[in-house]
Structure 1
Amino acid sequence: MVALMASAAHRYDGRPGTTTPAQEADRRAELEVRGGFGVVGDRYAGKPAHQDAAVTVLDVESLEALAAELGVPPFDPLLARRNVVLRGADVEALRGREFALDCGAGEVRLLGGRAANPCRWMDVVLAPGAHRGMRGRGGVRCRPLSDGVLRLGPAVLRIAPVG
């Protein structure tokens, strides 16, 4: 895992402006995930409307490819506002699949759901054109199925067999 984020408040609320909201307070070295609840301390945790989307997952390669396409330096993955950013995982393939992340503290099981579509703020906080460029590769929203802890650093991704 290359980045972890939990935010008690929206950072990209309202219309995109010319300033980038503060991000550092949301950066985490570890996240506590609770099954059926979400990421402890995150604004979407425990909200019924977000039970299938309480944890967002993105692969950093999508951001790296987008930066290269736009001709800009690599982005801070935290700016995409996804809870978990992985390296070396095909995150888009996790939609509709049960999977587990294990960083050495035990597995955290998740169910991949709908796409985590980008918002127009991406054009402000990443680069012009990022909103359109992230479509189809903005990550996946997940339902947490078990309790556990995710930590920065190496992790194993296990995808449950289909059927």
Structure 2
Amino acid sequence: MKEALTTWCSTKTNKENIKYLAYGKTTEGNNKHGYVFFILENQVDIMRKPFVNINGKEMKINFSPFTKLDAFDGSYLSIIDDIKNQSKKHKTKAVFEEYGNLKTTKGYKVGDSMIEQSLRMNSKAEAIAYLRNISPAWVMNNEKIQRNV
């Protein structure tokens, strides 16, 4: 899955790298499907049909903003926990895989480059989730500023 998404997000001139990927899939039953949450190193705009080639099969991928999911509470960790708990949700066997390292330790200082990157994001909720993942305390202290942006 990681290789399929990497090739789908890349162009001929720019190879895109996935910084973190959480992948959960149900392995039994009639409703076999998977959920993927991934973070790219850089933001990418792609105008391609949403099909990937996995193990010789062409599969359609549906993208939805993670901020619209029911499990989203303002941080990435709630989405990852929801993907981990797919076996409980669907009452079938499920597999969870994780690639990369998601920096979730609290106490990082939010710098100008991180604020600049959050301002380039498509939605305000996505930007706040990005900053909250870096430093929840900074987000709480600067919530008034973020409402005005």
Same fold? TM cut 0.5: no
TM-score, length-scaled by structure 2: 0.26
The higher-RCO structure (CA 8 Å, 6+ apart) is 1
More strand as a share of residues: 1
More helix as a share of residues: 2
Larger Rg: 2
TM-score, length-scaled by structure 1: 0.25
